[in-house]
Amino acid sequence: MNKKQLQSEQTKKRVADAARGLFGQKGYKATSIEDIVEATGSSKGNIYYHFKSKEGLFLYLLDEWDREWEQTWKQKEPTYKTTTEKLYGVAEQLVLEDMNHPLTKAADEFFNNEEKTSDVEERISEMVARHVAFNRNLLQQGMESGEFNQANVERLAVILEGLIIGLGQMSRKSKPEDALELYRSAVQIFLHGIAKPNG
């Protein structure tokens, strides 16, 4: 990386860090590009050079959050013996991460905003597809080890993602221990259902 590229990367990081703080503090809608200009000392043009729009900048931060989440998970994953334990582990990490992450509120606001450009919709779809692929790999492990019944893993991965998204919305105002209990129950029901076994 030459000096110019290095400076460009440093500027991008400075803008992203300042924006993360502002979005966390003020929320998504209340944070303007002008606020980010003021916080970084970068020009508007410089910010738009690195990020096409405020949405683009926010999606970049969400991608970063996703990557950090996966890194944390990769470090924890070997501590679980079974895929069932891993599912409970994922639920726990989701609750603790979401409850404590500075972008959680801004992300809710962002996703509930009706006006999204097609490239933003596309980026959101890519993000969801990445989450579904993560679920699929986890469930596939359980099927290959004989822990879970063989089933349509693609469909189950989508159902699991729908469950996680819904739980995230429903537990936003819960205490962490209540949210954790809710997620654990959801994993249990996902794995075992609620119908009594026949006979």
Rounded percentage of the chain residues whose pLDDT exceeds 70: 99
Least confident of 2-6, 155-159, 181-185: 2-6
Tokens 């508007």 — which residue?
44
Is residue 93's pLDDT more than 80? yes
HEC per residue, 104-117: HHHHHHHHCCCCCC
**Contact yes or no for 92/180 (Cβ under 8 A):** yes
Tens digits of per-residue pLDDT, 46-83? 899 999 889 999 999 999 999 999 999 999 999 999 99
pLDDT band at 19 (very low <50, low <70, confident <90, very high): very high
CA nearest to 135, candidates 123, 151, 121, 122: 151
Is residue 3's pLDDT more than 90? no
Q: How many CB atoms lie within 10 A of CB 139?
A: 23
**Contact yes or no for 156/139 (Cβ under 8 A):** yes
Is residue 145's pLDDT more than 90? yes
Half-sphere exposure (CA, 13 Å, Cβ side) for 126?
11
Rounded percentage of the chain residues whose pLDDT exceeds 90: 70
Residue 151 DSSP class: -
What pLDDT sits at residue 152? 97
Task: Judge residue 190's burial from the number of C-beta atoms within 10 Å of its C-beta, 0-12 exposed, 13-18 middle, 19 or more buried.
Answer: middle
Is residue 199's pLDDT more than 60? no
Q: Kindly report the average pLDDT of the chain as a whole number.
A: 91
CA nearest to 20, candidates 41, 5, 35: 35
